Amino acid sequence: MTNAHYRSLAGAACVAALLAAAPATAQDKTLTISWWGFNGEKLNQFIVQPFQEKCGCTLVFETGNNADRLNKIKIRGGEGVDVAYFTDGFSQIGIEEGLFQPIDRSKVPNLQGLYEMAQAPQGEYGPAYTIGRVGIVYDSAKVSPAITKWADLWRDDLKSAVSLPGITTTAGPMVVMIAGEKAGTDPFENADPAFAEIEAIKPNVVKNYNTGSEMINLFSTGEITVSLAQDFALGQLKAAVPTVEWANLEDGAIATLNTVNIPKGAANVELAHEFINFILSPEVQQATAENGVDAPVVKAVELTPEQAKQWTYGKEMIDGLKRVDYSKLNAAKSDWIDRWNEIFGM
């Protein structure tokens, strides 16, 4: 899932330890994967061990955050790993820098079973293996009326009650897009009206947060009652503050996609395609969704309401999401960061 991200890297050591203890099968056949390393035990159970048994190969890993791992691939000229997991903002950078190769879709037949948004989110390159969303969360015990649209963030009754994600986080630049929409302008063409709206929302903003845990703490201490958030933080947030709700936005939440690509210098391209097809199988997607790993992108996955409540799940929800043009966003981000920091005094 999506995404990512306030993803913890604490599971990386767990993955490494589990793999070190695994049988050394087919030592001549190795697949190297670049990913975050969170959810180590569950990934080992539902993906690593089953795929190693299926392919008669050994999986090895390069772990870390998006920026660090992408930079390693860049330094190596697209070599060193066979499969690379990234959020869509970072995979777009990799595509534009020529680090990834197109996917041979004939070798990934499970693509046909995905929601359309996940099949080819960045053209001929890798699919999304999970979809998340950015929306608004609010404490329903303290905020009335309910929040129903993005523009509600500017409401007068929310003065000193809102936290926004920092501009360098995954969701931060989306605030500029939302502000542009409120101003009736395209912030990629003319950012001035959008930043005028960000200046206008400043009295409502208590703090910019940079991690999910920081946002949850702000809710727990009562410093805020409203925030932008990615949906994978909702479970922990509701555990801390049970009255927090995900706003049903009439103008739509924003999609966040986690993608999987094959670097241009991959040593095991055939096996990489086999792995991507495996993680997109209905069986794997069902198991990972049921067990709290990732939201499914396979249409055939069926979840109970209890299993589904933490995920971006189902055709209606997915079809209602807004997409981000990361090619434009990545080009604008540097200027947006400077202008954001001027407003918030950073």
pLDDT tens digit sequence for 99-113 = 999 999 999 999 999
What are the residue ranges in the chain where pLDDT is below 70? 1-28, 38, 346
Residue 36's pLDDT is what? Answer: 87
Residue 5's pLDDT is what? Answer: 41
Q: Nearest-5° angle of CA 221, CA 226, CA 229?
A: 100
Q: What is the DSSP string of 245-266?
A: EE---TT--EEEEEEEEEETT-
Residue 180's pLDDT is what? Answer: 98
pLDDT digits (tens, 9 = 90+) for 199-217: 999 999 999 999 889 999 9
Residue 28's pLDDT is what? Answer: 67
Q: What is the DSSP string of 174-212?
A: HHHHHHHHHHTS-TTT--HHHHHHHHHHGGGEEEEE-SH
Residue 346's pLDDT is what? Answer: 64
Q: Nearest-5° angle of CA 192, CA 155, CA 322?
A: 60
Phi, psi of 50, deg, nearest 5: -60, -40
Average pLDDT, rounded, for the chain: 91
Tokens representing 199?
A: 């200046």
Please report how the helices 269-279 and 282-290 are oriented relative to each other, as an axis angle in degrees rounded to 10. 60
Give just the sign of the alpha carbon dihedral 156, 159, 161, 165. Answer: positive
Residue with tokens 């993005």: 150
3-class DSSP state of 228: strand
Give residue 123's region: left, alpha or beta (phi > 0; psi -120 to 50).
left
Name residues whose C-beta falls within 8 Å of residue 92's C-beta, 6 or more positions apart in sequence. Answer: 122, 326, 327, 330
